[in-house]
Amino acid sequence: MTDLTAAGSRTLPQRTHPISPIARALTALPGIAVGAIALGASIGSKIGAVVPLAIAAVVGLLVLIAATGYLSWTRLTYWFDDDGDLRIDSGVVTRQERRLQLSRLQTVDIVRPFVVRLFGLSEVRIEVAGDGESRAILQYLTEADADALRTDLLTRAAAHHADTTAPREAIDSIGEEHLIATVPNGRLAISLLLRGATVGLVLLTVLVIAVTVLQAGPAALIVVLITGGFPLLSLVGEYVKYHDFTIAESRDGLRLRHGLTQTQSQTVPPGRVQAIELMSPLLWHRRNWVRVNLNIAGVGVTTDSNGQSVVESVLVPVAPRDEALRIVARVLPGVDLDAIELTGVPETARWRAPFQWRRLAAGNDDHVFITRRGWLTHRLAVIPHARTQSVRVQQGPWEKRLGLASMHVDSTRGPVTIAAYLRPAAQAREMAEQQAVRAEIARRSDG
């Protein structure tokens, strides 16, 4: 921990960019505008000054936000301390002193929201392992400063556990990266339209429109525009989020970049990947497309002030299976998923899962345990033995009658569940026992 390299030395306290308070106030503009228009319309119409009042309200609020933002800007400093950890002091009324242990660094993301991008600024999001307040956001730095800070953080973190990161193919220097895959926007759009949920929602929307028009005449279409628009809105949201998706390999891991209005850049260090899932909804099967979901330690469940997930748990939103497997191989080196022999479940399982039972299977090799499930949406979940948190065998009354039981491998929080359903009870228990042993062996050789 006290291994102080050249990169691990103390630095002077620094501030974020001086334009930050203004940029921050402007990001709140849409919300303020809506509120001000409502205010102007309600009060202003009484005194006959809708527009001036609305403008006054907007300007007033912006000035207020910028002023408080300026105050907090003057009180926020960050630096690296003697141990090489990042320190952030902030707060006007309540002072907060935070220390982010770089030995536990998970990801450093650079985000460029639309308004902020106009100023040439970036937001830096730093995430460390641990519960609760494990995330720090610095608003805002110039793009060059943000990149430099990220490189600095990653270098210092790498110095902390140079010995534990898996040996990786030689990649010359930090910051250098090469593209390994992109998701064409056309494919992304089609894949979203072909999701079962989407098809259902569109049908529902059509139904709602038809019923409303029949009931209340064409005038009701206005209502439909609002209610029926929601399904499509979520679709558009996802499209905007994953627009121009690129995956590049860098020294620190896979770097994912995506976003139309807000460019997100996220690094997935291979050592932090806890579990992986290849997911393929019904209408993707023919095209052989899959989405790759991830469980990453400590991230993927955090939300920002807007309630949006800050760090996505998607490695690739949609890719042909071969390409997806090549990308997976970068985070799980030495694993050939298609070479792993899967064993299915006995036919008695059909009484518990009449459609799914043929798809249920599980298997393992020296590195990973995998399970297959899902009737319409196919799911292949993969967990490295060394990432096994605990193992469970479970059985309900109906399964008991059939002499079956389910075996689960617990992973950290995230979208991926590893469950080998409906195995013969004795076999499920045997699998659990073996998995516990494999996990122990893998952990020893890992550490």
Partner 1 sequence: MADVDDAFRPPGEPWVAVSEQLITARRISLALTWIVVVAGVVALYLFATVPRTIAIAATIVAVIAFVWLWILIGRRVRSWGYAEREDDVLVTSGLLFRRLVVVPYGRMQLVDLKAGPLDRALGITTLQLHTAAATTDASIPGLTPDIAAGLRDRLAALGEQRSAGL
Q: Where do contacts with partner 1 occur on this chain (CB under 8 A)?
A: 129, 164, 272, 274, 297-298, 386-397, 400, 403, 405, 408, 410-413, 417, 425-426, 428-429, 432-433, 436-437, 439-440, 443, 446-447
Considering beta carbons, is residue 191 or 293 the nearer one to partner 1? 293
Picking from 347, 348, 284, 350, the residue whose alpha carbon sits closest to that of residue 318 is 284
Shortest reach from residue 269's CB to partner 1, in Å: 11
Considering beta carbons, is residue 45 or 343 the nearer one to partner 1? 343
Cis? peptide before 242, omega within 30° of 0: no
CA distance 3 to 160: 7
Query: Cβ neighbours of residue 166 under 8 Å, at least 6 residues apart?
Result: 270, 271, 333
Shortest reach from residue 210's CB to partner 1, in Å: 43
Considering beta carbons, is residue 290 or 368 the nearer one to partner 1? 368
State whether residue 409 is helix, strand or coil.
strand
What separation in angstroms does the CA of 126 have from each of 105, 143, 210, 312, 356?
A: 8, 16, 49, 14, 41
Shortest reach from residue 413's CB to partner 1, in Å: 5
Considering beta carbons, is residue 60 or 396 the nearer one to partner 1? 396
Considering beta carbons, is residue 69 or 424 the nearer one to partner 1? 424
**β-strands 121-128, 105-112: how paired?**
antiparallel
425, two tokens? 């009870």
CA distance 308 to 310: 6
Considering beta carbons, is residue 138 or 425 the nearer one to partner 1? 425
**β-strands 368-373, 404-410: how paired?**
unpaired
Shortest reach from residue 444's CB to partner 1, in Å: 8
**β-strands 86-90, 245-250: how paired?**
unpaired
Considering beta carbons, is residue 36 or 432 the nearer one to partner 1? 432
Long-range contacts at 189-194 (CB < 8 A, ≥ 24 apart)? 189/239, 191/284, 191/289, 191/291, 191/317, 191/318, 192/235, 192/238, 192/239, 193/235, 194/281, 194/283, 194/284, 194/287
Shortest reach from residue 170's CB to partner 1, in Å: 25
Shortest reach from residue 373's CB to partner 1, in Å: 16
Considering beta carbons, is residue 54 or 428 the nearer one to partner 1? 428
Shortest reach from residue 447's CB to partner 1, in Å: 5
Shortest reach from residue 423's CB to partner 1, in Å: 10
Half-sphere exposure of 179 (CA within 13 A, CB side): 7
Considering beta carbons, is residue 218 or 397 the nearer one to partner 1? 397
Q: Which residues of 10-43 are buried (b: 16+ CB within 10 A; e: fewer)?
A: eeeeeebbebbbbbbbbbbeeebeeebbebbeee
Shortest reach from residue 391's CB to partner 1, in Å: 4
